[in-house]
Structures are given as C-alpha cells and as structure tokens.
C-alpha cells in the first residue's frame, strides 16, 4: 500500500466581526500553537510551512515571510498559496504533494484573513476584481450577484423556493448557535431570513455569509510519523481539484459551481461513493451554494437540493449531516482560513471529538467525512475526503 | 485617455489589443471576433483564440444583439464605485451567435422579468464619449 498522509493536528481561532487588538501574525500564532499542541509534536518537528490567504486585504506584502518568522519557522522552506476562498484547502493539496514526493515529513498549513480593517463596500470592491476585470467587473458584478444568478436559474429549472434557501440558514444557525468559535450565534427562523434586507434578489442578508477575521491550522505528516505521534490520525483518502472559467459569460451552466469535477476525482481516489459519507462540510458562502453542493457532491440528484434541506436530510439524524458547526453562514468567512476550519471540524468529528465544537454538534460513529471548499464562484473547487 | 478606458461605469483595463471595439461603440455597433483558423466566435471580442491556440488571427464580426435571458439578479447594494448605478439588474443573456454575455438589463420591471424572454444587447452612452452595452427587452 502506498504511503498515506495523515492529519495529526488542527487548530482554529474564533472567527469574529469585531475588530480585535490583534495583528494577523498574532492570529496565525494562536491557530498554529493550538494545532501544534494538538499534534504532540515539538516545533523543531515541523519541516515546512504553507501560508494561505488572499493578499488583497493585507497591507503586508508576502505575508508568508513575517508569519514564518513569528512562528519561529525560519529558515525552513515556506510557501505562499493564494486561491481565493479555497486557499487553505489548496494549501493542504500542496502540502500533501510535498510530503508524498518525499521532500517533507511534516508540514503545517496556516490559513488566515483579517478583513475588518476594511468596510463592507471596500471588501466588495476588492472581491469584484476577482471576476473578469475587463468585461464583467465594469458592471459591478460581485459574489452575491453571481450566486443570485445561480439561485434564479435553479428556481427556474427545478422549482427551488426562497423558503428552501432560507431553511439552509435555519439549519446552520441551529448548530452555529452552539459553536463558541462562530461569529454569528443567533438562531433564526425561515421568516426572519425572508424578512432580512435584499442584497441581490433573491438573496437576502441572512442568505449570505459575512467577512470575518480568523486563522486556522492543519498539520500534515507522513504515515510513519502520523502513526507514531497520534492514536487517531485522520487520513487523506481522496483529494480532488478543478477550476471554472473566470468570466460568467463563458460558463456552461448556472446551476453549479462546477465542483462536481473535483468531487468525482476525490471519490474515485478514495474508492468511496456519496452514500459512504457520514458527515460533510460544504462551502455555504450563500444558502444557494449549499443547495448546489448537495447536488454536485452527489448527496442527492441535480435539482433536488431544495427538497434535501426541506426534508431535513442534512441535519444530524438525516442522510448526511452537513455544516453541523454552523458553516460559513454562521461561523463567518475569513476567506483564507475557511478551508482549514472545515478540515478541523471533520477531523474532530472523525476522531470522535465533535463534542469539542459542542456535544449537540457531534455526529456519533462518523468514519468518513468530506470537505468541499470553493474559491470565487467556482473559479477553483477543492474536495477532500478524510477517513479514520 | 487610453481609448479602452471609455468602456464601462468603472474600468480597470486601459490597455488591450481589442481597443478597436470602442470604434464600434461610437457608431452604436457591437463587434465580436472570429478565429480565422478554427472559426470559434467570441463576444466580447478576444485578440487570441483560446480554442486552437494557433495565432492565425481574428476577424471582426458585427453581432445582431438578439439574445435570450439565461438568468439575472437584482442588486440592492453597491460595491465601492457603483453607488450611482444601484439598484441594477445584472443579466446573463445568450446571444443568437452563441456566447453568453453579462450586462445590465434595463427598461423592465421586476415583475416582467422572465428567464427565456427575448432581449437585445445595445450600446448605451453613459457620459461624454463613454460607453457600455446593456440588455433591453425586445
């Protein structure tokens, strides 16, 4: 059997909307320190660092450099990875390859974002520049607009309703209200979501995640070390990645982010199918995104995502519990940190430590979990399947 | 002023080989490009073919503007720089010639919007020698 790559340490700061007296290097330190403690390793055991972010929110150029110094990791190799909101799962992909190649034994993957220094309109102005800058950004097309276009098309093709969109937020708020590391702890009703102000119709404020500050850390190790230091290493069983066109005009479909391609790769590599997944974290930057994720990941057929949430299939006790830590919608979305946070949640669930999020968030006996992390509006998709 | 800065409410792309597109806008016409080598048609125009990647050159072709509405959203908030334009309807329309195009949809009430409806892409002057294209109902 070929050498496996294990996750042996996870850490995450609280995600928050309140501007704290904390610099980004200090945020990264908190996540790294927690993961290192979780891994039972000493600082000198880490032989490579990957720092994941989207640099446009920072004043610091080349943030990987000061972070490596602050964590005490210079002069070890350090890599910067920037892939929009999927940066930290891409960092895990890069780390997986660095270890698999034999170049490294233990790699720390840090993801962070500090977004509260900017106003919402300033953040949106930076986000729209991630689209087709020449032909589409001049129309003011941002993330909520594109996901609203997906939602309208989904409603048109499959009869998905605004209430079904709202039900995603209701579910995620039920679990997010219990997660001490989540930025949005309020439990909401369908009515409250429906009455929140329209951002880009049909999406309302509570159909959208919000920018936040936070950091996450995942420590990867080669099999021999993972088995030695951990009683419960969590193995990377499948890892898939795909991209979509930058411009919306060049898309073939408006009812998917295209992440089904990454999912197919990951399922094939892991040798499992959607019915084997016991718990999943999906990229719910908007409520419609979670509905499309159910379909793209094969949890239900294309077009049946609305029914899947309405019938409670993504709650604990349903077919596949999804985002039972609150998801991006309730945890908040510090873009470079999000994928690492998703991996932390699934790692804890598979170790039988879901109670660390909250006892009511634990999926008992979970053996195989899935992480789905999307950058932009599908510009990049990563799907990672983890197992005990 | 670099000519391509005349495109859009906000423009970030001053320099391009398809700057001739602006000449069409001034005449109220919309042009795409067709690959001389493989025949692939592009709108908005491209100066290089991403399909055959041969660099055989491109030919300018005027489009009809006839399109069908594929999807849309109605924006109630504005990113920085778009405060004066909000609220706006963002639409994806599929041109008769094939490509999908993103543009604002104007001259239509929310209740009248129907996916699949016939629309037309037309040139709009949005300031002194400054242009954009928009969809209008047909």
A341 found inside a domain? no
Q: Are B12 and A133 in contact (CB < 8 Å)? A: yes
Q: How far is A132 from chain B (nearest CA, A)?
A: 10
A372 found inside a domain? no
Mean pLDDT of A74-93: 98
CATH of the domain at A39: 3.40.47.10
Q: Which residue from B minimizes the CA distance to A133?
A: B12
Tell me which residue range forms the domain holding A60. Answer: 5-118+211-229
Q: Are B102 and A122 in contact (CB < 8 Å)? A: no
- What average pLDDT does the structure give for chain A? 96
A193 found inside a domain? no
Does A333 participate in catalysis according to the annotation? yes
Q: Which residue from B minimizes the CA distance to A147?
A: B73
Confidence of residue A27 (pLDDT cuts 50, 70, 90): very high
pLDDT at A310 (0 to 100): 98
Q: How far is A153 from chain B (nearest CA, A)?
A: 6
pLDDT at B112 (0 to 100): 96
pLDDT at A1 (0 to 100): 47
**Interface residues on A facing B, Cβ-Cβ cutoff 8 A:** 121-122, 124-125, 127-129, 132-142, 144-146, 148-153, 156, 197-203, 247-251, 254
Q: Are A149 and B90 in contact (CB < 8 Å)? A: yes
A79 found inside a domain? yes
A160 found inside a domain? no
Q: Are A248 and B85 in contact (CB < 8 Å)? A: no
A174 found inside a domain? no
Q: Are B102 and A248 in contact (CB < 8 Å)? A: yes
CATH class of B3-137: mainly beta
Q: Are A125 and B44 in contact (CB < 8 Å)? A: no
Residue B24: its H or E element: helix B21-26
Mean pLDDT by runs of 10 across the 138 residues of chain B is 87 92 96 97 96 93 98 90 90 97 96 97 94 97
A4 vs A220: CA distance, rounded Å: 10
A261 found inside a domain? no
Interface test mutation site (partner A, options B9, B90, B94, max chain A beta carbons within 10 A) = B90
Cross-chain CB nearest to A201 (options B7, B74, B85): B74
User: Is pLDDT above 70 for A5?
Assistant: yes
User: Is pLDDT above 60 for A13?
Assistant: yes
Sheet with A380-387, edge to edge strand ranges: A78-81, A48-52, A106-113, A214-222, A5-12, A234-243, A380-387, A368-375, A279-281
pLDDT at A173 (0 to 100): 98
Cross-chain CB nearest to B92 (options A134, A202, A254): A254
A30 found inside a domain? yes
Across the A:B interface, residue pairs with CB atoms under 8 Å apart total 116
> In chain A, how many domains are there?
1
Higher per-residue pLDDT: A58 or A51: A51
Cross-chain CB nearest to B92 (options A142, A200, A249): A249
User: Is pLDDT above 70 for A283?
Assistant: yes
Label residue B116 left, alpha or beta by phi (over 0 means left) and psi (-120 to 50 means alpha): left
Distance of CA A8 to the CA centre of its chain: 19
Cross-chain CB nearest to B9 (options A124, A140, A146): A140
Mean pLDDT of A61-87: 97
Q: How far is B47 from chain A (nearest CA, A)?
A: 13
Question: ipTM of the assembly?
Answer: 0.95
Cross-chain CB nearest to B92 (options A128, A132, A149): A149
Mean pLDDT of A117-130: 86
Domain ranges of chain B: 3-137
* pLDDT, tens digit, 9 for 90 and up, residues A342-355: 999 999 999 999 99
- Considering Cα of A342, then A343, then A346, then A349, what sign does the dihedral take? negative
Confidence of residue A121 (pLDDT cuts 50, 70, 90): confident
* pLDDT, tens digit, 9 for 90 and up, residues A223-278: 999 999 999 999 999 999 999 999 999 999 999 999 999 999 999 999 999 999 99
Does A330 participate in catalysis according to the annotation? no
Q: How far is A133 from chain B (nearest CA, A)?
A: 7
Stated pTM of the model:
0.97
A258 vs B118: CA distance, rounded Å: 27
């Amino acid at each position: 059997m070929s050498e496996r790559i294990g996750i042996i340490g996870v850490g995450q700061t609280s995600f928050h909307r309140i501007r704290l007296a904390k610099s980004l290097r200090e945020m990264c330190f908190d996540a790294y320190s927690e993961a290192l403690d979780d891994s039972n390793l000493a600082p000198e055991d880490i032989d490579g660092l990957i720092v994941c972010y989207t640099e446009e929110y920072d004043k610091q150029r080349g943030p990987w450099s000061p972070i490596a110094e602050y964590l005490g990791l210079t002069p070890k190799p350090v890599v910067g990875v920037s892939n929009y909101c999927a940066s930290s799962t891409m960092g895990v992909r890069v780390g997986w390859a660095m270890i698999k190649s034999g170049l490294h034994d233990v790699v720390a993957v840090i993801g962070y974002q500090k977004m509260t220094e900017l106003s919402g309109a300033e953040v949106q102005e930076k986000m729209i520049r991630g689209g087709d800058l020449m032909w589409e950004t001049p129309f003011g097309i941002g993330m909520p607009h594109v996901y609203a276009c997906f939602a309208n098309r989904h409603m048109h093709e499959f009869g998905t309703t605004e209430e079904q969109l709202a039900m995603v937020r209701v579910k995620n708020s039920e679990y997010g209200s219990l997660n001490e590391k989540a930025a949005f702890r309020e439990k909401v009703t369908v009515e409250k979501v429906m009455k929140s102000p329209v951002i880009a119709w049909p999406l309302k404020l509570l159909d959208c995640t919000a920018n936040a500050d936070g950091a996450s850390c995942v420590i990867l190790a080669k099999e021999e070390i993972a088995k030695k230091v951990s009683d419960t290493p969590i193995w990377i069983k499948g890892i898939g990645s795909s991209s979509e066109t930058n411009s919306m005009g060049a898309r073939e479909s408006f009812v998917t982010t295209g992440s089904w391609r990454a999912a197919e790769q990951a399922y094939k590599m892991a040798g499992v199918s959607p019915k084997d997944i016991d718990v999943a974290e999906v990229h719910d930057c908007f409520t419609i995104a979670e509905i499309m994720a159910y379909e793209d990941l094969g949890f239900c057929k294309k077009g049946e995502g609305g029914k899947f949430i309405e019938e409670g299939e993504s709650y604990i006790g349903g077919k596949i519990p999804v985002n039972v830590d609150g998801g991006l919608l309730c945890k908040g979305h510090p873009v470079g940190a999000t994928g690492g946070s998703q991996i932390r949640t699934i790692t804890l669930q598979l170790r039988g430590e879901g109670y660390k999020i909250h006892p009511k968030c634990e999926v008992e006996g979970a053996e195989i979990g899935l992480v789905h992390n999307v950058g932009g509006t599908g510009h990049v998709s990563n799907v990672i399947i983890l197992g005990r | 002023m670099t000519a391509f800065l005349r495109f859009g409410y906000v423009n970030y792309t001053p320099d391009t080989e398809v700057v001739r597109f602006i000449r069409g806008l001034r005449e109220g016409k919309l042009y795409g490009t067709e690959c001389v080598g493989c025949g692939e048609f592009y709108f908005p125009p491209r100066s290089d073919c991403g399909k055959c990647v041969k660099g055989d050159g491109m030919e300018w072709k005027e489009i009809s503007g006839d399109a069908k509405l594929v999807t849309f959203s109605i924006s109630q908030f504005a990113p920085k720089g778009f405060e004066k334009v909000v609220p706006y309807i963002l639409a994806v329309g599929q041109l008769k010639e094939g490509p999908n195009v993103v543009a604002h949809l104007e001259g239509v009430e929310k209740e009248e919007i129907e996916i699949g409806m016939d629309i037309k892409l037309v040139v709009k002057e949005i300031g002194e020698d400054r242009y954009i294209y928009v969809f209008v109902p047909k």
